[in-house]
Amino acid sequence: MSVLADPSLEQEVTLLELVDRVLNKGVVLRGEITLAVADVDLVYLGLNVLLASVGTLERIELEAV
Amino acid sequence: MIALYAVALELVDLPAVTGVDGAAIARIRSRGLDLVFSSHDAPAAASDRAVLEHARVVDAVAASAGALLPARFGHGYEDEAALERAAAAAAPALRAQLERVRGCVELGLRAVGPGAGEPPAARSGREYMERQRARVGECDRLVRDIDGPLLSLAKQGTRSMASQPRFSLAASYLVEPARIPAFRRRVAELERAHPALAFACTGPWPPYSFAEIEA
């Protein structure tokens, strides 16, 4: 299975996971991200082990500003 | 009002980070528990930035505490006295949770399946129900296949599953750091065994999914 090397998707999934944890279990505030992930042809989507710390996310956010 | 970030044990120093909206963080020590909070004129609105600011404080406190229970964003109290009263009332339960998560991190797992597509119209109510039952049974089997091998590497786990509109599993595991490599290898094995599913393994996180700060 191929590994999807799309940094922006990794960032989105990681942010979704963080928001989900910090706000509450099961809160789907950013459900559109989950759907966006699932809309990618899943045969080609192999999100591999994903690592990000909050520090990484902050850098991402600062770079985006 | 007071916004709580974490309940910790053996917090040496308050880390040099600011809280949500740049507020200074402070702590109260009560019955051996360190309560880390900031004061605000009004509750902060949930935004990506505010959530990151909250998570940054939790991460920093986790790095200098013996054990930590993260509070959810927006877990607020009227004032310091109210926070202290609530923590005192819940102290035994909080302490038990802190001992359970001590030395462990949380790993997250999501597994998402392809959409099932529009099924052909059922000819009868019975046929519809039987299809639904088969679909849920298939998803339950997938959860067991994925969750079982991961749970055996964890101290504890939580999971929630949806079968519609597509299979979707969201699970969290409380894992000793030494077992993280084995956990990731097992996720990779599951990924190979289930090529139709997309997997995302995230973390390590502070143990958000294993903290119940009801107070």
**Tokens linked to A41:** 């042809």
- Which pLDDT belongs to residue B51? 83
Is the model more confident about A34 or about A14?
A: A14
Question: Are the Cβ atoms of A17 and B200 closer than 8 angstroms?
Answer: yes
Which positions in chain A touch B112 (Cβ < 8 Å)?
A: 34, 37-38, 42
Is the model more confident about A23 or about B15?
A: B15
Give residue A25's pLDDT band: very low, low, confident or very high (50, 70, 90): very low
- Which pLDDT belongs to residue A55? 42
Instruction: State which H helix or E strand residue A18 sits in.
Output: helix A7-23
- Which pLDDT belongs to residue A43? 23
Q: Is B105 on the interface with A (CB under 8 A)?
A: no
Do residues B98 and B36 make contact, with C-beta atoms less than 8 angstroms apart? no
pLDDT tens figures, B167-211: 888 899 999 999 999 999 999 999 999 988 888 888 889 999 999
Question: Are the Cβ atoms of A21 and B209 closer than 8 angstroms?
Answer: yes
Phi, psi dihedrals of residue B176, rounded to the nearest 5° = -70, 140
Which positions in chain A touch B187 (Cβ < 8 Å)?
A: 49
Among B56, B168, B196, the residue with its CB nearest the CB of A58 is B56
Determine the Cα–Cα distance for residues B209 and A43; give it in Å rounded to an integer. Answer: 30
Determine the Cα–Cα distance for residues B157 and B151; give it in Å rounded to an integer. Answer: 6
Given the structure tokens 């406190």, which residue do they identify? Answer: B61
User: Angle of helix A54-64 relative to helix A7-23, nearest 10 degrees?
Assistant: 120
- Sequence-distant (6+) residues with CB within 8 A of B97 are B69, B210, B211, B212
- Which pLDDT belongs to residue B36? 97
Q: What is the DSSP letter of B126?
A: H
Rg (CA), chain A: 12
Q: Please state, for a pLDDT cut of 70, what percent of chain A lies above it.
A: 15
Is the model more confident about A4 or about B71?
A: B71
pLDDT of residue A49 exceeding 70, the answer is no
Q: Is B209 on the interface with A (CB under 8 A)?
A: yes
Phi, psi dihedrals of residue B105, rounded to the nearest 5° = -120, 165
Question: Are the Cβ atoms of A45 and B49 closer than 8 angstroms?
Answer: no
Which residues, given as ranges, of chain B have pLDDT below 70? 115-119, 215
Question: Are the Cβ atoms of A54 and B170 closer than 8 angstroms?
Answer: no
Q: Report in angstroms the alpha-carbon separations of B24 from B68, B122, B206.
A: 20, 60, 21
- Which pLDDT belongs to residue B215? 57
b or e along B115-136 (b: 16 or more beta carbons within 10 Å of the residue's beta carbon)? eeeeeeeeeeeeeeeeeeeeee
- Which pLDDT belongs to residue B71? 93
End-to-end CA distance of chain A: 34
Which positions in chain A touch B50 (Cβ < 8 Å)?
A: none
Question: Are the Cβ atoms of B72 and A23 closer than 8 angstroms?
Answer: yes
Question: Are the Cβ atoms of A22 and B73 closer than 8 angstroms?
Answer: yes
Question: Are the Cβ atoms of B114 and A57 closer than 8 angstroms?
Answer: no
Q: Is B21 on the interface with A (CB under 8 A)?
A: no
Average pLDDT over residues A31-49: 35
Q: Is B117 on the interface with A (CB under 8 A)?
A: no
- Which pLDDT belongs to residue A27? 39
User: Angle of helix B48-63 relative to helix A54-64, nearest 10 degrees?
Assistant: 150
- Which pLDDT belongs to residue A50? 32
- Which pLDDT belongs to residue A24? 64
Distance (Å) from the alpha carbon of B126 to chain A's nearest alpha carbon? 30
